[in-house]
Amino acid sequence: MLTANEIKRKVGEQAAELVQPGMTVGIGTGSTAYWLVMALGEKVRQGLDIRCVPTSRETAKLASEQQIPLIALNDAAVIDITIDGADEIDPQGQLIKGGGGALLQEKMVAAASRQLVIIADHTKLVKQLGVFPLPVEVIPFGWKQVQRHIEALYSIKSILRTKDDQPLVTDHGHYILDCHFNQIADAPALNIALNTIPGVVDNGLFIKMATCTIIGYPDGSVKESGVD
């Protein structure tokens, strides 16, 4: 039986095989995407000609340590493929992302990509989204007002994400409210509704964005499926 980290490594390495010479590649954030970056680094050092758009400062740092050429999203006319992790994946390929706090940049890079390949271990598969608290990125100004608004609208609790007893500040200077929906019956509607609340920058629902999932299992098997 493989450990969780071995499964992440396996799916990361399998996804790296999808990357062809000349491609512009969006590279995800998190402990699964870590293995993708390591595998791409190995290929780049062996001569693979690619350029990558990182989805966070953390990934940018890791990728440059691996000598992977990076470009800014502004300088990428099109991204051929983005490969990233997820916190929950439902049967329609809808996702919750942002457990690592990079949801805004991840969503922008994914939106600019021809394909979004999601790599994960089987524990991320769910029947319905919502047990994983949905990250909602908000501007720091008046964040408590936004929190009250969301909590009242949906009768839920939310928690301001912190680091070292201080509000966690995202790469783009925002805060994150982790919203405990438990069950999200209509993810597309919630995605739109949350983003219309003044002060909300974006949320971790990725709807109709993933084009393929690569899921690893403890027995070493890997299932690659297209998303309709």
Q: How far is the CB of 201 from ligand 5RP (least distance, A)?
A: 14
Name residue 203's beta-bridge partners: 136
- The catalytic site residues sit at 106
Q: How far is the CB of 102 from ligand 5RP (least distance, A)?
A: 4
Is there a contact between 205 and 191 (Cβ–Cβ < 8 Å)?
yes
- Residue identified by tokens 């490969």 is 83
Residue 157, token pair as written in the block? 């609790």
Q: Which is closer to ligand 5RP, CB of 115 or CB of 149?
A: 115
Q: Is 213 annotated as a binding residue?
A: no
Query: How many residues does the structure list for the chain?
Result: 228
- What dihedral do alpha carbons 159, 164, 168, 173 form, nearest 10°? 150
- Residues numbered 81-110 forming contacts with ligand 5RP, rule: CB under 6 A: 84-87, 97-103, 106
Using CB under 6 A as the criterion, what x/- string covers residues 164-203 for binding ligand 5RP?
----------------------------------------
202: how many CB neighbours lie within 10 A of its CB? 21
d(CA 143, CA 198): 10
Q: Is 216 annotated as a binding residue?
A: no
Stretch that binds ligand 5RP, among 23-31, 43-51, 70-78, 190-198 (CB under 6 A): 23-31
Q: Which is closer to ligand 5RP, CB of 32 or CB of 147?
A: 32
Q: Does 31 bind ligand 5RP (CB under 6 A)?
A: yes
Total residues contacting ligand 5RP by CB under 6 A comes to 17
The phi, psi pair for 148, rounded to 5°, reads -60, -40
Q: Is 85 annotated as a binding residue?
A: yes
Taking CA 125 as the corner, what is the angle to CA 110 and CA 154, rounded to the nearest 5 degrees? 75
CA neighbor of 144 nearest in space, from 177, 169, 174, 170: 177
Chain contacts with ligand 5RP (rule: CB under 6 A): 28-32, 84-87, 97-103, 106
Instruction: List residues forming the annotated binding site.
Output: 29-32, 84-87, 97-100, 124
